[in-house]
Amino acid sequence: MASQTDSLQDAIRAALATVQDPEIHRPITDLGMVKSVDIAEDGRVAVAVYLTVSGCPMRDTITTRVQEAVGRVDGVTGVDVELDVMSDEQRRALAEQLRGGQAEREIPFAKPGSLTRVYAVASGKGGVGKSSVTVNLAAALAADGLKVGVVDADIYGHSVPRMLGVEGRPTQVENMIMPPSSHGVKVISIGMFTPGNAPVVWRGPMLHRALQQFLADVYWGDLDVLLLDLPPGTGDIAISVAQLVPNAEILVVTTPQQAAAEVAERAGSIATQTHQQIVGVIENMAGLPCPHCGEMVDVFGTGGGQRVADGLTRTTGTSVPVLGSVPIDVRLREGGDDGTPVVLAEPDSPAAQSLRAIAGKLGGRARGLSGLSLGLTPRNKF
C-alpha cells in the first residue's frame, strides 16, 4: 500500500511540474510554490500552493491549472487546492533565484553576450502608426515561436497595453516586477501604474528612472526579442535608451509624405551620435486600396520610406534598407482598438502580410542569421 501511495505521489509531483506560473512562465515546482501534497485513502488529493503575494491576480488561473494537471493522474478521484502566501524570506529567495545571482538593477540586455535582440522603434513625429507597427511586429514574432517582450517607453503617450489587449497589472515580488502578457508577448507600461487615464507629468530624470526600472527590475526571462516603443523625436527617452542599452538597434517608422520623411530622417540620424545601428525603415500608411476598384490611392504621397532610407544611408555611411511598406487598412486600426493585432485577427490582409514579412526579417536576425538577408553588416553576434 505504501509503495502505491509513493508511486501516486511521484505521479502527482510530475504532473505539478507541468504547471507553469502564468506570470513567471516557469514550473511551480521549480519556483518552490508547492507547499504540500496530501493523498486521502479514497484518492482525493489536497495540494497546497504558495502564491508570491496575497493579492496575486492569477490565483484563479493557478488553481485551475493545478486541478486540471493533477486531475488527469490515474488514481486521483478529486483535487482540492489550498492557497497560501510566501513569507518575506521565501520571496527574497525566489527573487534571487530568478535573477540568477545577479545584482539588483542590472540590465540583462546590456550585458556582454546577451542573446536578446533589442529593437528601438522610433519615429520623427507622432501619428505615423509607430505603436501599431510595434505591437503587430511583437505579435507576429511571438506567433512565429520567438519569446518577445515590449517596453512601452512612450511614457507620455502610452498605448501599448490597449493595443495588445493587456488588462492585468504587474505583480511585484520583492523588488522584481512580473509583467503581464497577451498574445504570447510580455508587456510593461507606465499605464499599468497610473489610475484611469491620468496623464504623466514628469521631467527628464524621472523618465530615465522609469525606463531603467522597466529594463532592470522587470522579470523578462530569456527573451529572443525586446521591442522598445519610443516616443516621437530625439528627446530624453531616446538618449536614455542609448545609455542604458547601447546595443539597441533602431527601427525608423515613417509615412510616405515628404514632411514626415524629413522628420523621420532626423530621428534616425541620432544613431550617428549614439553609435547605434539602424536596422531599417518601415513605411506605414503606404497607400489605400480602393474598396471598389482595388487601385492604390496614395493618400500620403509616395516614396517617403525610400527617401528616409537613402538619407540615413548617406548620413551614417552604412546601408539602411526599407524593410517593408504597410498599406492603410481599417482592420489595422480596429485591431488596435480591440486589443487583437491585425497580424493575428486578419493574417491574410495586405497590412498583416506586410507586417509579418517585416517580422520575419527581424526574427531571422534574432535567430542568429547574421542580418545578411537585410544587407546589413552585423556588429555583434548574439
Domain with CATH 3.40.50.300 in the chain: 108-374
The residue behind cell 556582454 is: 112
303 is in an annotated binding site: no
- pLDDT value at residue 94: 84
Model pLDDT for residues 246-290, shown as the tens digit of each residue:
999 999 999 998 877 888 887 788 888 888 899 999 999 988 877
- In this prediction, residue 90 carries a pLDDT of 86
Question: Where are the domain boundaries for CATH 3.30.300.130 in the chain?
Answer: 2-86
What pLDDT score does 369 carry? 41
State yes or no: pLDDT of 104 exceeds 60. no
Instruction: Confirm or deny that 145 is annotated as ligand binding.
Output: no
**Model pLDDT, residue 120:** 94
Counting residues of the chain whose pLDDT is more than 90, the rounded percentage is 46
pLDDT band at 4 (very low <50, low <70, confident <90, very high): low
- Of the chain, the end-to-end C-alpha distance in Å amounts to 54
The pLDDT tens digits of the residues spanning 117-134 come to 999 999 888 889 999 999
Integer Cα distance of 70 and 53 in angstroms: 23
124 known ligand binder: yes
C-alpha cell at 19: 504547471
Instruction: Decide if pLDDT at 380 tops 50.
Output: no
Q: Is the dihedral of CA 159, 164, 169, 170 positive or negative?
A: negative
- The rounded mean pLDDT for the chain is 86
Q: How many CB atoms are closer than 10 A to CB 6? A: 11
Return the minimum-mean-pLDDT range out of 35-44, 104-113, 223-232, 325-334: 104-113
Per-residue burial over 86-97, b if 16 or more Cβ lie within 10 Å, else e, is beeebbeebbee
The yes-or-no verdict on residue 103 having pLDDT over 60 is no
Q: Say whether 324 counts as a known binding-site residue.
A: no
Output the pLDDT for position 374. Answer: 44
Amino acid at 180: P
What's the pTM? 0.76
* Cα→Cα distances 33→10, 27, 49, 71, 323, Å: 17, 9, 6, 18, 45
- In the chain, what percentage of residues exceed pLDDT 70? 93
Helices (H), the chain: 2-16, 59-71, 88-99, 130-143, 160-164, 204-216, 236-244, 258-268, 271-274, 304-316, 330-338, 342-345, 350-366
Q: Give residue-wise pLDDT tens across range 53-72.
A: 877 778 888 999 999 999 99
Tell me the pLDDT tens digit for each residue of 173-214.
Answer: 777 888 999 999 999 999 888 877 777 777 778 888 889 989
**What is the enclosing helix (H) or strand (E) of 38?**
strand 34-39
| Cell reading at 307 | 527617401
How high is the pLDDT of residue 116?
94
Pick the CATH number of 108-374 from 3.40.50.10480, 3.40.50.300, 3.30.390.50, 1.10.10.10: 3.40.50.300
| Cell reading at 311 | 538619407
129 among annotated binding-site residues:
yes
The whole-angstrom separation of Cα 139 and Cα 352 is 11
Determine the pLDDT at residue 263: 81
How many angstroms separate the CA atoms of 305 and 317, rounded? 18
* Residue 128 marked in a binding site: yes
The domain 2-86 is placed in CATH, from the list 3.30.300.130, 3.50.50.60, 3.30.70.20, 1.10.340.30, at 3.30.300.130
pLDDT at 93: 84
Q: Is 131 annotated as a binding residue?
A: yes
SS3 344: helix
